[in-house]
Amino acid sequence: METTVVDVPERGRFEVRVGERVVGLASYHVEDGTMALPHTEVDPSMGGRGLGTVLVAGVLDAVRERGLTVLPYCSFVRHYIQQHPETLDLVADEDKPRFGLATADH
Can you name the residues that pair with 14 across neighbouring β-strands?
7, 26
Angle at Cα 85 formed by Cα 84 and Cα 90, nearest 5°?
A: 100
In tens, the pLDDT along 26-66 reads: 999 999 999 999 999 999 999 899 999 999 999 999 999 99
Q: Which fold has domain 3-99?
A: Aminopeptidase (3.40.630)
- pLDDT value at position 104? 52
In degrees and rounded to multiples of 5, residue 36 shows phi and psi of -85, 135
Give the helix/strand (H/E) hosting 55.
Answer: helix 51-65
Of 103, 106, 92, give the one whose Cα is nearest residue 33. Answer: 92
Report the chain's mean pLDDT, rounded to a whole number: 95
102 band by pLDDT with thresholds 50, 70 and 90: confident
